[in-house]
Every structure is written in structure tokens, then in C-alpha cells.
Structure 1
Amino acid sequence: MARSQSGPSLSERPPLGGGPRRGAPCPRQVAAAARAALAAGASGVHLHPRGGDGQETLDVARVGPAVRAVRRACPGPPIGVSTGLWMCGKDAAARQTAVRRWAVAGDRPDFASVNLSEPGFEGMAETLGTLGIGVEAGVWSERDAADLLDSTHMTSCTRVLVELLNLPVPQALHIADRIVDQLRRAGRTVPTPLHGEDVSTWPVLDKATVMGLETRIGLEDTLTDPSGNVVTDNGTLVRIALSRVT
């Protein structure tokens, strides 16, 4: 995701207005959503493959086809996925086993997010490195930033994703300043996307622009535009985001 541009987060949500989830989008649908977001101006894709039950998964049988479909439909832009521990019942060993199975996938993501706040960061970073997948360190707090700077894998991380989650806007903006300052004082020069969630989504996106950082936007982050109007697709969010950074 290029500087001052926005990359879509293709994490499907339940139908607007509530109601039960009926399965998950097939790889072709995910690829179509990615193509639309990239056409709107995004420079990369972050996606969350899902199983037949609609839940996020690290299963190679789901991750591989999703990445392959997006890459074939949209060759060139980087494709990232999450390795959130919640996908494996908060079991770090099970996550390691699932991600190691990506070795058999013909198509692997270009990078994968690994959260410092979750157990098993070092092992997960090591596994991704052996698979030739870049590590995007997920930093949610100043403590996470400090842990990253102390990590043996600090220099091998290709990206640092600063996420301000479940925070009031003033607190999110304050913590963004402190985390980015920590990383800059330590000499970290890798891409550092900054993004918020829900009420802080748009204020943090504006903050990223002012700070000269990359950012991210998508239905995983917000379901509304800055005025509170409902948005139902990633492409629209990307267009709105780019209108605020250009």
C-alpha cells in the first residue's frame, strides 16, 4: 500500500441490519471485491479468508484459493492476510501447525499480520520467514511497540501495522503519536500503515495522512462514511479515503 494511499480490508461482515451469516464469499467473489477496490485507487489488499461456516480461518484449503483468485484477477499489488490467534481458539501451537501447512500452497500471501499482543509472535515470525512470507508486525499499544523493538525479529519485519482499536478518538490519536514516535526514534524505516476502527476510523486515517504514513480502509474497519452514512463496499470506502488524502 503506497504512501498516502489506502488498501482495502476485505473482511466480510454479516448482512447489514443483522441476521444470520450464510456461508462465506467464494474466492471469485473475494477477487471481484479486490479488483473493485484496486480500481478505486487502493494499492494493496488485506483479506480474511473464511471457511464454509463463515468464520475466519487459516486453513490452507481456504487461504490458498483466496490468494490465488485475487492474484490472478489483480496481478501486481501485494496481498496480505491476518494470523489472528482467535482463528485457532487462541492456541498458538495450533496456529503454527495451520500456517506451516501453507508450504503446500501454490499461492501464498506476500505478507501476513502477526500481533505482538498475542502469544507466539516470535515463532510465527520465524515460520513465515521460512515460507518466504513477509511479516507485518501488528502493534496495538506502546507496550507492543517496545516488545517489537526488543524482538529478535524486529529487523526482519517488512511492515509494522499500527492499529488503534476500540478507543475513543482523542485517545486513539494520542496513542498514534506516541507509538509512531517510538518507532521513528528507534530508526524503523519500513512501511508503517496506521489505521483506526469504528468511530476512530476516519480521524486516524486523516492522522496518517498528516504524519506521512500509509493507511488502510475497508469494511473490516468501518461500515460508514465520515458523515455516518452506511457504506456497503470496499471500493466506495477507498474512493472516500483517497478524496481526503489528495
Structure 2
Amino acid sequence: MFIKACLNGSRAAGEHPRLPLTPDELAADAVAVRRAGAGAVHVHPRDAAGRESLEAADVGAATSAIRAAAPGLPVGVSTGLWITGGDVPARLDAVTAWARLPAAARPDFASVNLSEPGFGDLARALLEAGIGVEAGVWSPSDAATLTASGLAGRMTRILVEVIDAPYEEAVPRAAAVLDRLDGSPVPRLLHGEGPATWPLVTEAARLGLATRIGLEDTLLDPDGGPAEGNAALVRRALAEGRSAR
């Protein structure tokens, strides 16, 4: 079962005692989750003040640190529009600058949400920079938009993401999105956030899909207790996946 570890997301310092934010912390956690069984990592780089950043220097610092500590581990980053305060041109300018980073500092892939304006331009800028694109599909309408974009076949992965759903609605919502995706051979990764996290780890295993887990998505173990950290979450996800198959 392919698991991508989502190490920090938009969480603020103090939300979890082992939340990694700095390049060195992200690198140490990348080593730990790889040992636990993760096949890739997804991170939200921070600037010197601890704020989420799309600036090339901050993205490059986080990526370089992870690469040095965990050679060969694929590294992905966010392009969430909230990081530039909803400014679509500013986001495109920041991400376009990643093409000038040295290879060791350039992410392997970046997630781009279909629900945010500017998907097509941003995806093309990443592809031109040699950076893979993960299409974040949150709804059936997002799936239709991806198909209409003509870019679906160029994606590294299609992320079927269930956000803000109660536990009992997670699987039906995921099924509604999966049903709307075309027959493209592009790999799917299924995951949820909050209460939807653990039911979709199990559902991904049942369907033979990749998934993700980490402190970005949940601070809790499947039994509702506090998660020890990212590596522990990866180990639990693998165990849940084995039980579901």
C-alpha cells in the first residue's frame, strides 16, 4: 500500500508537540516516516516567521533539507491559494520561480486544487518546470473540471480528497468523486481530513488505491487517542490497510 506522509499542512506551532515546521524538522520527520513505510512526503514550507510560503527560497530550503536527509524519497509541496491570501497572479509568479531552483531544491511534485481558480495555468507552469502535478479533486464537479481541462493524463496523481465530512459520510462522498473520474490510467490517491481520515485509509486499502496520512490530516489515532507523531500515524495506517484487505 503506497502511503504519502503529509507532515504538517497549515497547522500552527503548538497544535501538536511533534509538528515539524522548519527544514531541519521536516527532514528529520521525513527520515522517520520513510523508515515507518511511507513512499513519499507532502509538506507546507514555512518562511523565517513560521508562515506558510510559496517563495522559491523557502520551498527550496525545505526540499533540499529533506533530500539531503532522505535521498530518493519523493518530495511534494502545496500550492494552496490561501498561502498568497487568495491572490491568483501572486501564486503563479511564486510557483513559476521554482523553475530557477537547482534540481536538488526543486520539489518532485506539487498539489493543485481544482476548486481554486487558476488550475490550468498553474499546472502548466509546474509541468514546464519539470515538477509533477497532483490534481486535488474534492467533488464530482472538480472531477468534471479536470476532465474538461485536457490535463488529466499529464498528472502524476489524482488526489481524491474528502474535506470536512463526518465519519459516516466519508466513504459515500469519496465514491461520488471516484465515479466521476474518467478512465485515465493516472494513479488515484484517496484520503480524508479530520473525521474522514481513518475511514478513507481503510477504503483506499479495500479499493487498492494509494492513500496519505500525517499530522496535516489528523491529530488522532483510529481509536480516537492522540497521535504520537507522523511516523506512528504511518505505521497505524499500514496496519489498518493490512486489516482491510
TM-score of the aligned structures, taking structure 2 as reference length: 0.92
| % identity of equivalent residues | 49
Q: CA RMSD in A?
A: 1.5
Match of 2:5 among 5, 8, 16: 8
Q: Which runs of 5+ in 1 are unaligned?
A: 19-23
**2:100 matched residue in structure 1:** 104
**1:122 matched residue in structure 2:** 120
Q: Which runs of 5+ in 2 are unaligned?
A: none
Amino acid corresponding to residue 65 of structure 2 in structure 1: A
Whole-angstrom CA distance in 2 between matches of 1:119 and 1:171: 27
Query: After superposition, what is the alpha-carbon deviation per residue over 1:139-166, rounded to whole angstroms, capped at 9, x for unaligned?
Result: 0000000100111222211210111000
Whole-angstrom CA distance in 1 between matches of 2:240 and 2:167: 18
**1:25 matched residue in structure 2:** 21
**1:209 matched residue in structure 2:** 205
1:51-66 alignment, distance < 5 Å: 51-66=47-62
Query: After superposition, what is the alpha-carbon deviation per residue over 1:167-203, rounded to whole angstroms, capped at 9, x for unaligned?
Result: 11232211211211222xx212212111011111101
**2:76 matched residue in structure 1:** 80
Whole-angstrom CA distance in 2 between matches of 1:156 and 1:226: 34
Whole-angstrom CA distance in 2 between matches of 1:31 and 1:39: 13
Whole-angstrom CA distance in 2 between matches of 1:34 and 1:80: 12
**2:139 matched residue in structure 1:** 141
Whole-angstrom CA distance in 1 between matches of 2:180 and 2:15: 39
SS of the aligned residue for 2:60 comes to helix
**2:162 matched residue in structure 1:** 164
SS of the aligned residue for 1:193 comes to strand
Q: CA deviation at 1:89?
A: 0.8
Q: CA deviation at 1:231?
A: 1.2
Amino acid corresponding to residue 28 of structure 2 in structure 1: A
**1:150 matched residue in structure 2:** 148
Answer yes or no: is the 8 Å Cα contact 1:5–1:245 preserved in 2. no
Answer yes or no: is the 8 Å Cα contact 1:34–1:70 preserved in 2. yes
Query: After superposition, what is the alpha-carbon deviation per residue over 1:40-68, rounded to whole angstroms, capped at 9, x for unaligned?
Result: 11111111101122221101111001101
SS of the aligned residue for 1:221 comes to coil
SS of the aligned residue for 1:45 comes to strand
TM-score of the aligned structures, taking structure 1 as reference length: 0.92
Q: CA deviation at 1:28?
A: 1.6
**1:228 matched residue in structure 2:** 224
Q: CA deviation at 1:75?
A: 1.3
